[in-house]
A and B are shown apart, each in its own frame.
Chain A
Amino acid sequence: MIEVNNLTKIYGKKDTAFNALKDITLNIEDKSTVSIIGKSGSGKSTLMHIMSGLDEPSSGTVLIDGVDIFKMKEKKIDAFRASEMSFVFQSFFVEGNATCYQNVLLPLEIAKVGITKRKKMVMEALKAVDLEDKVSAKASTLSGGQKQRLAVARAIVNKPAIIFADEPTGNLDSTNGDKIMDLLFGLNKSIGCTLIIVTHDPDIAKQTSMRVSIKDGKIENIEKGRK
């Protein structure tokens, strides 16, 4: 379970200080699907970054399975992110000069997964996103939809407990977008990972089991249950 307590985030200091998150409190159950919705600039990405330990809050705590992630040593939180979390970003973030195989391999390298186990895991992930025929292709040669599928393969290769997706379909047409969402929801069912999606798209939000709407850094509304 992810427990977010009284989270605030202030960017900058004094005159330029900007209060991006204001007293956010919410609980996310294991294996649930959560959408974070709100206008541009409302603080969705900021919240996601803090929940994943990428960014630090100005005050408040984030507990994952009862452990305060900001009280962990840097090395430990790194290791925790490497083994338990993964990310899908709006602008893909694949390594263009590397092959698809090498792209998907990265999380396994970082998590120091044994060399002998790697190949099977990478191939499974590529198969799940329907890219096994592109194993040795350079990532830069892929189409947008393929790149995002590659990013999803990279996100699932290490069987994470939590997947954070920041507008994963933002740069895709609706057909490709639907494909990605089907993939992510499918994973939630098959490996039971918690799925946290930042999105503008009400259609996507509808499919999640919990909807958190944010306005000006404050929680406006939390809705549970599928629509």
Chain B
Amino acid sequence: MLFIDIVKRSLRNLLTSKARTILTALAIAVGTFALTLTLGASNGAKEYANNIVRSNFDPTELIVSKDPNLFSRQDATKPQVYNPSFGSISTFGGETRQVQYLNTADIAKIATTKGVSSVQPAITVSLQYITRDGQKKYIGTLAPYNSYQKPELLAGSIPEKIQDNTLILPQGFLSALGFSSAKSAIGQNIRLSVQNQTSLNSITTNPLAALNSSDNKSQESVFKVIAVSATASTSISAATSLYLYTNINQVESLNNYIYSGTSSYQKYLTAYAKVTDGTNLTKLNTAQSLIKGEGYSVQSVVDTEKLITQFISVIEGIVTLFGLIAIIASLFGVVNTMYISVLQRTREIGLMKALGMHRKDISRLFKIEAGLIGLLGGIIGSALAVGIGTALNPAISNKLSLGNSNLLIFKASQILILIVVLALIAIFAGLLPARKAAKLDPIEALRTE
């Protein structure tokens, strides 16, 4: 028999027992539905995670630290040896650590590494307060702006080089500072104050004196608003959505003011090393291993992404497993249906054999039939998942505040592969019934009434 004739005959058989075919296919569809949603959710989660990483970190930058344990937890069950050459002792998420800081010499050294174009210490300035004439004072954070961020702007624009004493104001501060709209904030002045830490240190010993001296040791500067950024759904935490941004030099000088006279002066936990042509992964990796070779620990955005994606993959794996179990269960349905089909068509099989149809073709007939059931189940399940998923996406995004990102992202290629694999698995399930059909004795078969 020609392949096309076998397929036609299989289709005819499936159509003859429609209810049975559809019920068997529906069982497969349930598993497929789960798997398609899982794939969609993990695509969405991965893309969302990458969005977060990409919009909060410059992919061409390496994060460098002197402390070998910063990017990996040290073994907290074993006592750590005290090292006088290290920096301060501090609590790190409830765990006392001796952290090594980068100093200006380190920064200079990293900057000379081949492939590194510039090094910026990672600083954010904790402001004593932010205010505007006639408004309350608010605490806040000032951070250096990096052009990779490309925040969504509600008003104004960000120049190539941000001038001193200009800043990007986040949407969240608008009404707090008495602005009626984003537009009305542009060109307005707001005042930022920083406080020197030496005065704060004395709070514990002489609070009253500290209060007096702190007044002396703080500095207020005036900044002009050049742009207002929208609250991004991809902010790494709620806190960063309220960051004010200006140029790095000004952040650095304010930071120096805060820490001058303390042991933390010009000491940095991490620094960003910008790599020339850093979008090229090999160049990024080369620079990373060179800096590592100088005794620093280095992490790239790729590493961070991997960390997050790994976590997503584990969850994906677990859900996939459930989907697979559902599909395996439904395969017994296919086996059962096909066995019934063989029994029902004993005489037909006998006739075909008597008329000279090869064993192989008879077996193929039933395998294709099983495969078609799998195909049908796959199509029904994935179509339902895509349909329902696409319909629910806006509601889900809204509920999880994902902004414009979709939780469920369906990829045609993945779904196609899934359906093909399902058809193949169904064929596998049809193997035994097909073998039974091929082995039928035509005379016995014709004798059955």
Asked if B352 is at the interface of the complex by the 8 Å CB criterion, the answer is yes
Instruction: Name the distance in Å between B66's Cβ and chain A's nearest Cβ.
Output: 76
**Would you call B443 and A49 a contact (CB within 8 A)?**
yes
Contact-residue size bin, chain A (C-beta under 8 Å from the other chain): 20 to 34
Docked complex: A35-71 residues within 8 A CB-CB of B? 49, 52, 54-55
The digit string for B1-34, where 1 denotes a CB below 8 A from any CB of A, is 1100100010010001000000000000000000
- Given A55-B443, A89-B446, A97-B16: A109 and B356 interface contact (C-beta under 8 Å): no
Q: How far is the CA of A85 from the CA of B355 in the complex (A)?
A: 8
Instruction: Name the distance in Å between B405's Cβ and chain A's nearest Cβ.
Output: 52
**Would you call B446 and A110 a contact (CB within 8 A)?**
no
Chain A to chain B contacts (Cβ below 8 Å), 8 pairs: A79-B356, A83-B356, A93-B347, A93-B351, A95-B351, A107-B355, A109-B1, A110-B357
Cβ contacts under 8 Å, A97 to chain B: 12, 16
Asked if B348 is at the interface of the complex by the 8 Å CB criterion, the answer is yes
Asked if B449 is at the interface of the complex by the 8 Å CB criterion, the answer is yes
Cβ contacts under 8 Å, B388 to chain A: none
**Would you call B12 and A110 a contact (CB within 8 A)?**
no
The digit string for B419-449, where 1 denotes a CB below 8 A from any CB of A, is 0000000000000000000000011001001
- Report, nearest first, the 4 A-B pairs whose CB atoms are least far apart: A82-B356, A81-B356, A109-B5, A78-B356
**Would you call A110 and B1 a contact (CB within 8 A)?**
yes
Cβ contacts under 8 Å, A110 to chain B: 1, 352, 355-357, 361
Q: How far is the CA of A181 from the CA of B112 in the complex (A)?
A: 104
- Given A95-B348, A109-B1, A112-B1: A75 and B355 interface contact (C-beta under 8 Å): no
The digit string for A70-110, where 1 denotes a CB below 8 A from any CB of B, is 00001100111111011101010101011000100011011
The digit string for B357-401, where 1 denotes a CB below 8 A from any CB of A, is 111010000000000000000000000000000000000000000
**Would you call B354 and A54 a contact (CB within 8 A)?**
yes
**Would you call B449 and A54 a contact (CB within 8 A)?**
no
Q: How far is the CA of A80 from the CA of B358 in the complex (A)?
A: 11
Instruction: Name the distance in Å between B363's Cβ and chain A's nearest Cβ.
Output: 13
Instruction: Name the distance in Å between A69's Cβ and chain B's nearest Cβ.
Output: 12
Instruction: Name the distance in Å between B19's Cβ and chain A's nearest Cβ.
Output: 14
Pick the residue among A83, A91, A98 that contacts B12 (CB under 8 A). Answer: A98
Instruction: Name the distance in Å between A46's Cβ and chain B's nearest Cβ.
Output: 9
Interface size on B, residues (CB 8 A): 23
Pick the residue among B16, B353, B358, B446 that contacts A75 (CB under 8 A). Answer: B358
- Given A54-B442, A55-B443, A112-B2: A81 and B12 interface contact (C-beta under 8 Å): no
Instruction: Name the distance in Å between A109's Cβ and chain B's nearest Cβ.
Output: 4
Cβ contacts under 8 Å, B356 to chain A: 78-83, 85, 107, 110-111
The CB with the most chain B CB atoms within 10 A, among A52, A83, A95, is that of A95
Instruction: Using CB atoms and an 8 Å cutoff, list the residues of chain A in contact with chain B.
Output: 49, 52, 54-55, 74-75, 78-83, 85-87, 89, 91, 93, 95, 97-98, 102, 106-107, 109-112, 115
Pick the residue among A49, A87, A115 that contacts B355 (CB under 8 A). Answer: A87
Instruction: Name the distance in Å between A141's Cβ and chain B's nearest Cβ.
Output: 15
A82-B356, A93-B350, A97-B16 given; 13 more Cβ-contact pairs under 8 Å = A49-B443, A54-B354, A54-B442, A55-B443, A74-B358, A81-B355, A83-B356, A85-B356, A87-B355, A89-B446, A106-B355, A109-B9, A110-B356
Instruction: Name the distance in Å between A191's Cβ and chain B's nearest Cβ.
Output: 18
**Would you call A78 and B358 a contact (CB within 8 A)?**
yes
Q: How far is the CA of A182 from the CA of B352 in the complex (A)?
A: 26
Pick the residue among B347, B357, B449 that contacts A82 (CB under 8 A). Answer: B357
Cβ contacts under 8 Å, A80 to chain B: 356
Cβ contacts under 8 Å, B9 to chain A: 109
Q: How far is the CA of A75 from the CA of B443 in the complex (A)?
A: 18
Pick the residue among A91, A107, A112 that contacts B449 (CB under 8 A). Answer: A91
Docked complex: B309-345 residues within 8 A CB-CB of A? none
**Would you call A78 and B357 a contact (CB within 8 A)?**
yes
Cβ contacts under 8 Å, B446 to chain A: 89, 93
Cβ contacts under 8 Å, B12 to chain A: 97-98, 102
Q: How far is the CA of A107 from the CA of B347 in the complex (A)?
A: 15
Cβ contacts under 8 Å, A85 to chain B: 356
Instruction: Name the distance in Å between A213's Cβ and chain B's nearest Cβ.
Output: 23
Q: How far is the CA of A112 from the CA of B4 in the complex (A)?
A: 11
Q: Which residue of A lies closest to B360 (CB)?
A: A75
Q: How far is the CA of A52 from the CA of B9 in the complex (A)?
A: 26
Cβ contacts under 8 Å, B1 to chain A: 109-110, 112
The digit string for B256-290, where 1 denotes a CB below 8 A from any CB of A, is 00000000000000000000000000000000000
Q: Which residue of B lies closest to A91 (CB)?
A: B449
Q: How far is the CA of A79 from the CA of B2 in the complex (A)?
A: 13
Pick the residue among B2, B353, B354, B359 that contacts A109 (CB under 8 A). Answer: B2
Q: Which residue of B lies closest to A114 (CB)?
A: B2
Cβ contacts under 8 Å, B2 to chain A: 109, 112, 115
Q: Which residue of B lies closest to A166 (CB)?
A: B446
Q: Which residue of B lies closest to A97 (CB)?
A: B16
Cβ contacts under 8 Å, B16 to chain A: 97
**Would you call A106 and B354 a contact (CB within 8 A)?**
no
Q: Which residue of A lies closest to B347 (CB)?
A: A93
Pick the residue among A54, A74, A98 that contacts B359 (CB under 8 A). Answer: A74
Q: How far is the CA of A86 from the CA of B355 in the complex (A)?
A: 7
Q: How far is the CA of A89 from the CA of B350 in the complex (A)?
A: 12
Cβ contacts under 8 Å, A89 to chain B: 446
- Given A55-B443, A98-B12, A109-B2: A81 and B359 interface contact (C-beta under 8 Å): no
Q: How far is the CA of A78 from the CA of B360 in the complex (A)?
A: 11
Cβ contacts under 8 Å, A87 to chain B: 354-355
**Would you call A82 and B348 a contact (CB within 8 A)?**
no
**Would you call B352 and A81 a contact (CB within 8 A)?**
no
Instruction: Name the distance in Å between B449's Cβ and chain A's nearest Cβ.
Output: 7
**Would you call A81 and B354 a contact (CB within 8 A)?**
yes
Q: How far is the CA of A75 from the CA of B449 in the complex (A)?
A: 28
